[in-house]
Structure 1
């Protein structure tokens, strides 16, 4: 299950783990104008863990999920046809 909320400065997606015997904490993804943040509560350290991605890093991560093992470089569409 997931929820989507639109705040004034970010779009917030929350992923809720359900259905398996070992449930993980909710994952909160915030899309800002200049970056994305991913947060998850860590019950072992009792802290909120946060990772910040640039737009390029998140686009590459999404692409990587469907690719086989290897090394890749993302080439923007406007540069793909050049030289």
Structure 2
């Protein structure tokens, strides 16, 4: 399950783990104009862990989810190609 909320300066997507056991903490993805952050509470330390990605890193991650093992780069904005 997930939710989408539009805030003043970001769109926030929250991923809720509602299928597997043991359940993992919710993941919040904050989409800003200049970057994307991924946040999750670490229950061991009770601190929120944050990773910051550029929009091009998010694009590469999305493409990587559907590609086989290898090294890739985008030749054009919409088409990943294998790097030799």
TM over 0.5, shorter chain:
yes
Taking structure 1 as the reference length, the TM-score comes to 0.88
Q: Structure 1: give runs of 5+ residues left out of the alignment.
A: 79-83
Residue equivalent to 2:65: 65
Partners in 1 of 2:50 and 2:75 — Cα distance?
A: 28
> Secondary structure of 2:74's partner?
coil
**What's the counterpart of residue 10 of structure 1?**
10
Shift of 1:74: 1.8
1-structure distance, mates of 2:42, 2:26: 10
| C-alpha deviation, 1:7, in angstroms | 0.5
CA distance in 1, matches of 2:5, 2:17: 18
CA deviation after TM superposition for structure 1 residue 42, in Å: 0.5
Alpha-carbon RMSD across the aligned residues, in angstroms, is 1.3
Q: Which has the higher strand share?
A: 2
Q: Structure 1 CA distance, aligned partners of 2:36 and 2:2?
A: 17
Name the TM-score, length of structure 2 as normaliser. 0.87
Per-residue CA shift, 1:22-78, capped at 9, x if unaligned? 100000000000100000000112210000000000000000011000111123339
